[in-house]
Structure 1
């Protein structure tokens, strides 16, 4: 059961660190800091890989401590070890709360990134405007892509 608790704690800690990192994303988007934005995307890819490995490790540990039928439920674990099962339930509740917080921050960051993209497109359109009727050689202007 110690391995299960350690796996849940590692998952919780990884989520907590990612929630903190995701909180810094709006500042990079407001500043239109491409380096920080790309670094954040790289960090998220690493986080996703880390969480996948932690989930697999936690699932394997739960399978090892599961009662005879092979299904690891909190009720079944409580019957065998009430104290550690309660600690696991608390840890998993914190994991769920952090995952919900991360999902909310991701939703807000996506909305902000969409607005930042529109801003960048506006800047680029101002720097290189498309003629409405004729191109620079006098030919009819091609339809602008949306």
Structure 2
């Protein structure tokens, strides 16, 4: 019987190592969490007040892009771009939405675009693309974040 007590006491002292777990450091946990986050996507896309009523995430995103495209086309429809550059039917606009809900528009031109006066087109776009409705910025993990995307805008609607 004494042998069993000795064996049990021996097991109790040696089994403590099985209960001790290595606790990861704060930096290790942070690095693991940062690697798990998909930085290419946001939890909620930017939206206008009219699109907030849509429940489905994909439909809300489509509503936002369609509404923004229509607004840009309306603002540029009665402009001199089609008169100055009749061959220019579509322009790509880089849209940046900041966390404070400010919007910035930059035209994107091909690298070999010497046929267009990019400075003149940029100034026309800057002058015309103002006074947009309030936009809600994109949300990533509960925090408003900056988003950028390139939006093709058709200048000639026939």
Same fold (TM over 0.5): no
Q: Which has the larger radius of gyration?
A: 2
Higher strand share: 2
Q: Under TM normalisation by the shorter chain, which class is it?
A: under 0.3
TM-score of the two chains, using structure 1 as the length reference: 0.26
Larger helix percent: 1
Structure scoring higher RCO (CA < 8 A, sep ≥ 6) equals: 1
